[in-house]
Structure 1
């Protein structure tokens, strides 16, 4: 086999890997869009008389779909949860709260436990070199040194706030209006997991506390608190 034919075969294999991974990304994005459309259509059914007769099954379907979509980056999941609360009020508040905790926990755990080496390989194949370098730096840095490395990258005034109160910062970011620009709740928790700066049990506790106020307020005081 000549060197030129070997280079061609290598390039063809690389192109195949890139094409297959792009296809997976496009399929996931398309499925997310279908999921959002499906969920919004189901939410619209809450106002119909027919839905009132099958409310329990419909609500469970919506909650499962909501939890899955909330785990995806750049999906306005919190806004969907607020819409459900506005339509269904106090009776839906416990289920919305549970689905919110489950969705955000799923996103965090995926980021926390996904093999970084495989993710780095995906990023390199898709020419996301800056992301690949960032993940490589996380993988190469011992857990005990990652917080100091983060402090060195942040501006002097921001480093103590973010590093010393990082769980508080994470909780505030989840509730930040318009956080879809930062990736939404799912994207923020995914990034938190990928950073490997948070312990799972404390991150889950942060999610539990940070997402409680709105559903609890609706459950106790009704939908007027959303206005």
Structure 2
């Protein structure tokens, strides 16, 4: 087997590992949601506490994985326990998205480029190579220069607003979900860590605020 064939095989194996991680993440999410189907009674309060702790830990890690609907765990917890759990879910959501961002931020670009090249995505791999060593402004200039459509430069120039919108956009799972979007933001190096944290903290706040203000008006919620 020649070197090129070995690299392609290595790329396919890496892709299969990534797909397996996504599949396992989805299955684990289903399992956590099924484990939360319990009745709230004084007699099972210790078990409920264990479920909450386990679910929140799983939520942080699962939501950080691209294409895994971990957000469903947070929504299920809020529906199960009502407004009193909202601050904890909000905090865990912020931690999870920051985790995804930091993974992308510190993922070596050479590794990303090599992975794309191994899959014969040469154009994308070479573009990532060109980004190595550039600061955020240089990266932005290069991306604007290479953007093929008018809409893309607009989204890049208003990237903070774009991130805040897509992170809340229904159906964003098809483009990676919250974890995937956070990871891409980290890989792009167009957001500083404080800028990302502030943007995400604001972006994910509307629903928790609404639930804190009006959640006790929803029938069936414990308050």
TM-score (structure 2 length as normaliser): 0.83
Greater radius of gyration (CA) = 1
Counterpart CA distance in 2 for 1:25 and 1:105 is 20
1:85/1:223 contact within 8 Å kept: no
Unmatched 5+ residue regions in structure 2?
219-223
**Which protein is richer in helix relative to its size?**
1
TM-score (structure 1 length as normaliser): 0.81
Q: Which residue of 2 aligns with 1:129?
A: 122
Superposed CA RMSD in Å reads 2.7
Counterpart CA distance in 2 for 1:53 and 1:127 is 53
Question: 1:219 Cα deviation (Å)?
Answer: 2.2
Counterpart CA distance in 2 for 1:23 and 1:84 is 32
**Change in 2 beyond 3 A, CA 1:223/1:63:** farther
| Deviation larger for 118-127 or 170-179 | 118-127
Within-5 A mapping of 1:60-71: 60-71=53-64
Counterpart CA distance in 2 for 1:24 and 1:181 is 19
1:168-220: per-residue Cα shift (whole Å, max 9, x none)? 22111111111112211111111111111111111011111111221222123
Counterpart CA distance in 2 for 1:127 and 1:209 is 39
Alignment partner of 2:153 out of 148, 159, 168: 159
Within-5 A mapping of 1:195-214: 195-214=188-207
Alignment partner of 2:86 out of 86, 93, 103: 93
Q: Which residue of 2 aligns with 1:109?
A: 102
Counterpart CA distance in 1 for 2:44 and 2:115 is 43
Unmatched 5+ residue regions in structure 1?
1-7
